[in-house]
Amino acid sequence: MTTAQEIITHMESLQDERQRQNLMRFFKTQPGEYGYGDEFLGIKVPTTREVVGQSKDTPLSEIPTLLLCRWHEVRLCGLLLLVGKFEKLSTKRLVNDPQAIKQRDEIVQLYLKYARQANNWDLVDLSVHKIIGSWLLLPTKLGSTTKEASINADYKLKVLDSLASSDCLWLQRMSMVCSWKTSQQGDPSYCLRYAEIHLQHPHDLMQKAVGWMLREMGKRVSMDLLRDFLRQHIHEMSRTSLRYAIEKMPEQERGIWLRK
């Protein structure tokens, strides 16, 4: 399968009504819930990944059709195809390759253009750190005033700040969850910046994301850095964020933080 329509037709043939109902409940698609209006075929993620494997040669120009599809699983397929393409262009051999940089930048631009189509937490969490998070660590020509590629950190912060300040929950979550990748690579700065920005976010999904990313930062970079952040902000953050952030600490220490 190399066209969006072939992929959509194939995935529609895999529809499972019982699983569809389960997924609609799990992803909160009823009126007033965060996933209201999202439509599912009833396809499990491993099956969607199999479709991605069968469709890896789909050209970039076909991806927008997948991202604009009504079906949640088809949008996930489109996002995972982007992830696969980006990772293929990010190997050590291609990090500084001009053509690879150009193609990575095209994927980033496409991802950001259709970011609102990642309109549930799984669509964000399975894609943003592997595309935007990785891009934060790689050379880019986006935002550059010269012909040379560079890390261009100021421009990347502007991109993330625009996501963080958006009125869209899913874009806000992107600004936080993309730090999963940077923390994995030893850079805590993005996690700390966006955890502080979202520290008092009212939505449960953002509170969980903040705590989760802080926990990962502590695990991957420095538990002492996590403790410093908690000492500074514990009276501002939600109990949900705190519980997630301290999850990997010893039980006795968790109790101390919770009593604070």
The 10s digit of each residue's pLDDT in 129-165 is: 999 999 999 999 998 877 777 788 899 999 999 999 9
The mean pLDDT value for 48-63 works out to: 96
Question: For residue 41, what pLDDT is reported?
Answer: 96
Question: For residue 71, what pLDDT is reported?
Answer: 97
Question: For residue 149, what pLDDT is reported?
Answer: 76
Question: For residue 46, what pLDDT is reported?
Answer: 96
Q: Burial of 155 by CB count in 10 Å (0-12 exposed, 13-18 middle, 19+ buried)?
A: middle
> Could you tell me the two tokens for 32?
């007033």
| pLDDT-based confidence at residue 1 (cuts at 50, 70, 90) | confident
How far apart, in whole angstroms, are the C-alpha atoms of residue 197 and residue 200?
Answer: 8
Which residue do the tokens 């069968």 mark?
54
> In whole numbers, what is the pLDDT of the chain averaged over residues?
95
| Tens of pLDDT, residues 83-126 | 999 999 999 999 999 999 999 999 999 999 999 999 999 999 99
| Tens of pLDDT, residues 167-213 | 999 999 999 999 999 999 999 999 999 999 999 999 999 999 999 99
How far apart, in whole angstroms, are the C-alpha atoms of residue 112 and residue 103?
Answer: 14
Question: For residue 260, what pLDDT is reported?
Answer: 82
| pLDDT-based confidence at residue 67 (cuts at 50, 70, 90) | very high
Q: Which run of H or of E encompasses 184?
A: helix 179-184
Q: Burial of 223 by CB count in 10 Å (0-12 exposed, 13-18 middle, 19+ buried)?
A: middle
Percent of the chain past pLDDT 70, that is, above it, reads 100
Q: Burial of 136 by CB count in 10 Å (0-12 exposed, 13-18 middle, 19+ buried)?
A: buried
Question: For residue 16, what pLDDT is reported?
Answer: 93
Percent of the chain past pLDDT 90, that is, above it, reads 92
The tally of CA atoms less than 13 A away on the side-chain side of residue 136 is 29
| pLDDT-based confidence at residue 57 (cuts at 50, 70, 90) | very high
User: What is this structure's pTM?
Assistant: 0.93
